[in-house]
Structure 1
């Protein structure tokens, strides 16, 4: 760990105490590291029981004899945030290797020699007395951070203001992020990527501050990074732990509010799809969800609800699940975000005013989603397809067109599992390129040619004629809209 600029008792001050008679053996660059405690340990790896900023004292029993072992021992202590290592070379200390001293210099890890005449308990008492005054300041900061809960209730502070107050009280710059390094709470900046740990079990001490997990019911929601501010008086790890607790509570409050709004939004969208909500009332309720201006209805397939919620993050929208379809109402830009999701097939309606009836829009969006799924495209916009706009809105009219043109083929396919309609649809969607369509269907081109002839015979329509081709194409689109084709 590199030397830092923490306030309070430093290694340099402890080294200067006349009663201790300490001598610096290596690691001068780390003399400004802060010290919170002094503790004797003869364990080869005491780091699981450390919090950071300790002076570890040893008679040498724990120190390996090999150069590689001594280097690894010192690196473990430094990675855990130990302030300094104090050794009594006159007792059980093995010969200190050059690699040991080189590591101390490279890392700025102070190594102190304790005279045989000075018991370790004396070092511990001196350090404890020196940090006592600083502890009073830290206790006061802890009590004030507890007051943050009162601020939340009494003053209704926004997140950014709350954490600015906590920064002032704690003496740290506060950073928050998800486990992937993304923003965790709006208004609180994210840390540098290099500061984000790989695991919630990582040591809490980092150069110049601390990193702590922010808990949530589903596991670790993210991390809080506290970095000491120049000119401030950092209040220590206990205060940072309290700040992390406040972050967890604030996150829980925000998530509860979001879930309440999401459920309310689901009810609004269901009413709009059923046509039971007047436009003026719908517009008022959408405004409560920060939805205004031009909107689009999108039908999303191929992704889970949780994946969709993560992708949309803080965007305003309404979401409703119907079977495998997810109905999404919001600004037109949402469709582009959805289209970037892996495995998605989505279709959007034409743009419509906020609160307008969704009767036609849901037909458009469902049809476009079916086209996206059939063609392998992530997104189809209804307005970009010239054929779909000519379909009638009346389901009875669509059903009549399907029966008149495709009825015999549908019954033949059901009786013989012949896939004639699928073959013709695939051939049409690939602009009548027989080889491409046959490859998509995993059949030989001659087999596809046979199916096309059989289709023409059953329907009485020559697919080489423009009029017949158009009629069949519109009938297939109608069948998709009615749910007769996947």
Structure 2
């Protein structure tokens, strides 16, 4: 492209500024000779308007309005080559042109508008060819990068190197940096900021650009479009990961897969070290927010297992305080979170689900938005303090036993209560229940299968005793 100033700098054209020199950097995208009284109706943005003055009004106020309308049509400049007897440009028009920054160029009537138009068109065509060639190079660079790098972070680094540009992708909502090639070079505001099309709702920022051919808004938009395809593909991959994680968590909760067996798969998902079960709860009308939770930037480095049950979302996730706080904040002020003990040989996945559920149920009765089961357990050491707390304890420790009893008429709660009151003595417990000792073994084994808690363990004795006491308090 060519600017107004570059046209003036060509001596053979004989152009000179009469007004609006501050707009000399405007780009000329076309040239059009028009002597109608309303040239703004016949031009597009960036047009160099060439006039002999035939359609120009005589009145100063009318001329001032005339030049303003030309500016509103986004003309790049006015070339005035008056024919003999044409109306002169008034001081009011020139003053208004200076005010609005619209260049007014004087030229000789002998200037051939065709010559000026040809020069502009040649520059436009040359610029279009250069842009086309640059676009071809951009696509070739991107194709090369796709072959050289397996994941998007590495590809972005290679793109930054090959394009000699500093690139950064940020989340449009939170402003969180998703990917960057040079963190230190973004201390200052970015030189260019473009929305990335697609569902990712992200923005491409370009810092220092050391490549002339990519320093073009259109090419930058093409780059943003290519990255948009990448981000959408990454979203689709995370959707698949969520579905896989749901199936895996269902198997772990149902006991169809051992936690130790699943560790290799969990590590591949970035779930290492101490893992906890988290229960997130939202009002029923807001549970749609759960559907996009796996796309929050903080989860780009790992893929937690997720399973939604009505208005509660369960996550098997890294025990990372900052990460959990970010997830809670991303769901809004209505969200509540309960966190289990770390999952271990002593705390099964099934037990961790119950702990997280009990913790999140307790949050509703406090001013907090997050509760750890460890804190809740110490608070309940002497038993639940309210009716709702008692109901929560009964539901989450005895709920499955109550459901089973209703369907099979087997007195599991009575069996459990007698066993605990007899201090775990098998012989006296069986005698009081008037059943064979092996039948007692069978029933307590069934309790363990239904709840995931072993009644003969110290943990099982404490929580079942607490739950049975809570049930008595509700009668």
- TM-score range (shorter-chain normalised) is 0.5 to 0.7
2:398 to 395, 399, 423: 395
Alignment match, 1:259: 239
Distance 1:26-1:355 versus aligned 2 partners, 3 A rule: farther
- CA RMSD in angstroms, aligned pairs only: 4.6
Larger radius of gyration: 2
Q: Does 1:306 align with 2:291?
A: yes
Contact 1:283 1:354 in 2 (8 A): no
Q: For 1:381, which of 359, 367, 372 is the aligned residue?
A: 372
**Distance in 1 separating the partners of 2:345 and 2:233:** 29
Q: CA distance change for structure 1 residues 134 and 243 in 2, over 3 Å: closer, same or farther?
A: same
- More relative contact order in 1 or in 2 (CA 8 Å, sep 6+)? 1
**Equivalent runs, 1:158-307 vs 2, <5 Å:** 158-163=151-156, 166=159, 174-180=167-173, 182=175, 186-187=179-180, 212-216=194-198, 218=199, 221-224=201-204, 229=209, 232-234=212-214, 236-302=216-282, 303=287, 304-306=289-291
1:293/1:353 contact within 8 Å kept: no
* 1:288 CA displacement: 1.0
Does the Cα contact within 8 Å between 1:349 and 1:382 map onto a contact in 2? yes
1:124 corresponds to: 117
Q: Matches of 1:17 and 1:166 in 2, distance apart?
A: 39
Q: Which 5+ residue runs of structure 2 have no aligned equivalent? A: 384-392, 403-412, 418-463
Structure 1 unaligned spans of 5+: 1-7, 197-207, 405-470
C-alpha deviation, 1:363, in angstroms? 0.8
Shift of 1:14: 1.9
Deviation at 1:62, TM superposition (A): 10
Q: Hey, what does 2:305 align to over in structure 1?
A: 318
Deviation at 1:331? 2.0
Q: Which residue of 2 aligns with 1:439?
A: none
In 1: Cα distance, 2:151 partner to 2:103 partner:
43
In the alignment, structure 1 residue 147 sits paired with structure 2 residue 136: no
CA distance in 1, matches of 2:208, 2:120: 22
Moved more, 88-97 or 368-377: 88-97
Aligned mate of 2:349, from 358, 379, 382: 358
In the alignment of these two chains, the number of paired residues is 380
Shift of 1:299: 0.8
Q: 1:127 to 1:102 in 2, by over 3 A?
A: same
Retained in 1: the 8 A contact 2:168–2:206?
A: yes
TM-score, normalised relative to structure 1 = 0.63
Is residue 2:360 matched to residue 1:369?
Answer: yes
Report the CA distance shift for 1:372/1:32 in structure 2 as closer, same or farther (over 3 A).
same
Question: In the alignment, which residue of structure 2 is the partner of 1:445?
Answer: none
1:477, 1:242 → 2: CA distance? Answer: 64
Distance in 2 of aligned mates of 1:370 and 1:361: 14
How much does 1:212 deviate? 4.8
C-alpha distance in structure 2 between counterparts of 1:397 and 1:126, whole Å: 85
- Check 1:162–1:89 CA distance in 2 against 1; reply closer, same or farther (3 A cut): farther
CA gap 1:167/1:288 in 2 versus in 1, 3 angstroms? closer
Residue 120 of structure 1 and its aligned partner are, at CA, apart by 4.2
Residues 78-113 of structure 1: CA deviation (Å, up to 9, x unaligned): xxxx7x423427468775152431332xxxx64434
8 Å CA contact retained: 1:269, 1:319: yes
- Quote the offset at 1:326 in angstroms: 0.3
Q: TM-score, normalised by structure 2?
A: 0.64
Kept after mapping to 2: 8 A contact 1:338/1:344: no
Equivalent position of 2:448 in the other structure: none
Q: 1:315 Cα shift?
A: 5.1
2:263 and 2:340 map into 1 onto residues whose CA distance is 18
Change (3 A) 1:254 1:115: farther
**2:77/2:105 contact within 8 Å kept:** yes
**In 1: Cα distance, 2:203 partner to 2:366 partner:** 42
1:159/1:187 contact within 8 Å kept: no
Could you tell me whether the CA contact under 8 Å between 1:185 and 1:251 is conserved in 2? Answer: no
Is this contact kept in 2: 1:170–1:240, CA < 8 A? no
Aligned to 1:335: 324
Given that 2:306 and 2:316 are in contact with CA atoms closer than 8 Å, whether structure 1 keeps it comes out as yes
Task: Report how far residue 370 of structure 1 moved.
Answer: 0.7
Cα gap change, 1:230/1:88 in structure 2, threshold over 3 Å: closer, same or farther?
farther
Q: CA deviation at 1:347?
A: 1.0
